Amino acid sequence: MKKIIIYMCLLSAAYSWSGCEKTDYPKGTVSPYIPILDLRSLYKGADVTLNKENMYGSDKVSGIVVSDHSGGNMPPGLLVIQDKKRLSVLRGIAIPIGADAAKYVPGDSVSVTIDGAILKRVDGILEVTGVAATAVAKLGSGKAIAPNRVPSSYILANPDQYESTLVVLVKGGFDPLPAPTDVLSGNVVVNDGFDNLTVHTDPKASFAKTVRPVSANYYGIVFNTKNEAGNYVPQHYLRTAADVVVLSSVVEIAPIVITGFIADPAGTDANNEYIQLMATKDIDFSVTPYSVVTTNNAGASTPTTLPVNGWATGDLRTYKLNLTSGKAAKGTFFYVGGAGKLINSTSSTSIASANWIKAFNYSTTNGDGFGTKTTNLLANSGNAYGMAVFQGTTVTAATKPVDVVFVATGGLLYSAGPPEVGYRIANTDFYDVVNPITLESQPFYRAGTNTIALTYTTPSDAGYYYMLGGTYNANLGRWIKARTQTILQLTKTSLLADIEGTGATTLK
C-alpha cells in the first residue's frame, strides 16, 4: 500500500508539472546559436524561411571555417563552416556571402545571423541563402581542426551527412596507375581502399596541374551534386595544393594475401585448422619460398610475457610453417594447415583436392624453426590470435610480413617501451607501418592506428569459417575493396566451393 501511495503522489506531481505554463519551468536562457545538426534537420525537401520560432529560439549559427578560396577551387562565394555542438556529431553548412567569403580562412571562428534567411538546396548543396556579408562576425582565429578520416564508402552511403564538412581520404590512389603526365585537373576518381570517390579540381585552380601521386591523403570539403535520377552524388573538393599529402611513389605488391581461415572447426581442432590464401602472382615455392606464422595469445600459451621476439617468439605463442614446394597460379587460392585436409574437422568433406602448399600435423610435430606442437594453432580463448605471411623462411623479431590479419585484442600483444615490442604488421587494408595522418612510425599491431581486429564468433565448436571478402588489385599493389569479415557456419557436408565462391576475396 505504501508503494501505491508514493506512486500516486509522484503521478499527481507529474500531471501538475505537465499542465504548467512554460514560464513555470526553471529559468534558463536559450542559446542564440542553433547547432548545425539541428539547422540541417529543418530542411525536408522544400525551402525553409528561418526564424526564431523554427530555430528553437536561436537566431544565429556559429562554427569553424573550413573553406579556403586561395586555391581557386571552392564554389564561388561560399563560406563553409562546421561544428560538433549537438551530440558531438560533426556537421557543416554552406553560406553564400559573395566575395567576402574569401576573407575567412580555415580555423577562423565565426558567428552568422541567419534570422530571416532561407535554407534551400542550390545545385545540390544545402545552403543558408539571403545572408549579408555584414551578418558574419569573426570571433577568433587559428582554431585547430582535427583530421576527420572518413572512408569513401561512408560518404557515398550518406552524402548529406558529410556535406560541407572537411574530410580526409586516406591512402588514395588511382586505377590505372597515373602516368607522369596525369594531373589533378577536372573530375578524377580516387580509391581509398573502400570505394571510388570523385575528387574535383577546377582546371583554373592554382594546383590543377599537380601531378597525380601513386598514394596520398586528400583533404577537402564534400559537396553534393544532383544526378539525373534525382539522387545526391558527393564530390570531394580540394582547397589548396597543401590538401594533397603524398605518402608514396613506390608500388608495394603483396605476393600473397590472407583470404580466410577456420580456427575452431566442429570437432577436434588438432590437425584440422587451416588458412586459405591467394597468390597475386604466379609462385613456384621451390624457387621463391615463403612462410606462414600463426600466433596464439591464450592465457596459457607460453611464454606468458610480452612477445619481445615478435612473430619469432616460438614455444606455444607462435608457430612457423615453411612453404618450400608446390606452385600457385596468380589469382588462385591455396591452403596451409593441418594434415587432415577436411573442411570442418572429423567426419567432414575432404578438401584434399584443393591446392595444399603445406599440410602439416602441428599436433604431433614442432614448427619449422620455432613453435611447439599444439592442439590449437589459433586461439579459442577470447584472447587475440593472428597469422602472417613472410617472404622467405627466416623470421626474426625484425622481419616485416607481406600480409597479416588479427582476431580480437586481448592478451600481452604490444608495449610502447622503450624498447617497443610486439607483432610487426605490413601495409595492408587494415594496418599502416607509418601513421598516414601524423606520419609517425607504428610498425606493430596495437600501435597507433593499428587497432583493427576481426571479431570472435560464438558459440565455440560450431564450425565457423572466416571468409574475408575484398578485392586486391595486383597492378596497384593495394586493396580497392577492403576485406570484410563474413562468417560461414560450415556443416560436415560443406564443399570446397562454399569457401571459394561468392563473397571470397577476388583479384583484379
pLDDT in tens, 333-356: 999 999 999 999 999 999 999 999
pLDDT of residue 110 exceeding 70, the answer is yes
Beta carbons of 425 and 431 less than 8 angstroms apart: yes
Of 248, 275, 309, the position where a domain reaches its end is 248
For residue 226, what pLDDT band results from cuts at 50, 70 and 90? confident
- Over residues 158-185, the mean pLDDT reads 96
Is the torsion defined by CA of 49, 51, 53, 55 positive or negative?
positive
Q: What DSSP letter does each residue of 324-389 carry, written as one string? A: -S-EE-TT-EEEEE-TT-BBTBTTS-B-TTS-EEEE--TTTS--SSS----S-SS--SSB-EEEEE
Per the structure, the complete domain to which residue 213 belongs is given by 152-248
Same domain, 307 and 200: no
Question: What's the pLDDT at 249?
Answer: 73
Same domain, 284 and 371: yes
User: Helix, strand, or coil here: 401?
Assistant: coil
Same domain, 63 and 193: no
Q: How many domains does the chain have?
A: 3
Run of H or E residues at 119: strand 118-122
pLDDT of residue 426 exceeding 60, the answer is yes
For residue 5, what pLDDT band results from cuts at 50, 70 and 90? very low
- Tell me if 205 is assigned to some domain: yes
Q: Which residue has the higher pLDDT, 10 or 365?
A: 365
CA 341 to chain centre: 34
- Over residues 210-214, the mean pLDDT reads 94
- Tell me if 15 is assigned to some domain: no
CA 158 to CA 44: how far, in whole Å? 16
Same domain, 348 and 229: no
Out of 21-35, 363-377, 452-466, least confident range = 21-35
pLDDT in tens, 461-482: 999 999 999 999 999 999 999 9
CA 361 to CA 370: how far, in whole Å? 15
Question: What's the pLDDT at 28?
Answer: 64
Same domain, 171 and 40: no
pLDDT of residue 65 exceeding 90, the answer is yes
Question: What's the pLDDT at 23?
Answer: 41
Same domain, 123 and 169: no
Of 215, 248, 281, the position where a domain reaches its end is 248
Same domain, 424 and 448: yes
Compute the residue count for the chain.
508
Same domain, 226 and 286: no
Of 248, 282, 310, the position where a domain reaches its end is 248
For residue 25, what pLDDT band results from cuts at 50, 70 and 90? very low
pLDDT in tens, 271-302: 999 999 999 999 999 999 999 999 999 999 99
Contact partners, residue 468, CB within 8 Å, separation at least 6:
258, 259, 260, 405, 483, 484, 485, 486, 504, 505
Same domain, 452 and 419: yes
pLDDT in tens, 305-329: 999 999 999 999 999 999 999 999 9
What is the CB neighbour count within 10 angstroms for residue 185? Answer: 17
Place of cell 602516368: 179
Same domain, 319 and 395: yes
- Tell me if 4 is assigned to some domain: no
Kindly report the CATH number assigned to the domain that includes residue 213: 2.40.50
